[in-house]
Amino acid sequence: QLQLRESGPRLVKPSETLSLTCNVSGGSVSSNYYWGWIRQPPGKGLEWIGSIYYSGSTYYNPSLKSRVTISVDTSENLFSLKMKSATAADTALYYCARMGAEYTRYTWFASWGQGTLVTVSS
C-alpha cells in the first residue's frame, strides 16, 4: 500500500528557506505518476504548490513559482520542496501527494501524506 510521509523542520525563521521531504514507500517515485505538494493554512482551504514527474519535469502555481523548487531523488524514492524567503503567510500544513492518472499533470490527488505543520516565526 502506497504511503507518503512528510518530514522537515517544523519551525522556520522569516526570510529563510522552508525545506520539506516526502518519503514514498509501498510504491516507486519513478512510476508514471506526477507527485505534488499542497498546503493548508490553519483553519483555511487547500492550495496547490507544484508537481513533479520522475524525469524532473516540474510545474508550479504561478503565485508561488518565483520562490519554489521541487526536486525528485529516484535513488532515495523521495521528492522535496524548497520555498525561499519564507514569511508568516507560509505557515501551513504541508501535504505531499501522488497524483491520480498516469502520464498527465492534469489530474486529481489520489493519495496523501498525513501532512506536517510548518510555522514561520522568529
Partner 1 sequence: EIVLTQSPGTLSLSPGERATLSCRASQSVRSTYLAWYQQRPGQAPRLLIHDVSSRATGTPDRFSGSGSGTDFTLTISRLEPEDFAEYYCQQYGDSPLTFGQGTKLESK
Q: Which residues bind partner 1 (CB under 8 A)?
A: 45-48, 59, 61-63, 95, 100, 105-115
Question: What's the rounded Cα separation, in Å, for the pair 52 and 46?
Answer: 18
Provide, rounded to whole angstroms, the least separation between the CB of residue 13 and partner 1: 27
Chain centroid to CA 63: 15
Q: Which is nearer to partner 1, 85 or 104 (CB)?
A: 104
Q: What is the DSSP letter of 44?
A: S
Provide, rounded to whole angstroms, the least separation between the CB of residue 48 and partner 1: 4
Q: Which is nearer to partner 1, 91 or 111 (CB)?
A: 111
Helix (H, G, I), strand (E, B) or coil at 77: coil
Provide, rounded to whole angstroms, the least separation between the CB of residue 122 and partner 1: 27
Question: Are 66 and 72 contacting, i.e. CB atoms less than 8 angstroms apart?
Answer: no
Q: Which is nearer to partner 1, 54 or 59 (CB)?
A: 59
Q: Which is nearer to partner 1, 46 or 88 (CB)?
A: 46
Q: What are phi and psi of 91, to 5 degrees?
A: -65, 120
Provide, rounded to whole angstroms, the least separation between the CB of residue 30 and partner 1: 22
Question: Are 76 and 91 contacting, i.e. CB atoms less than 8 angstroms apart?
Answer: no
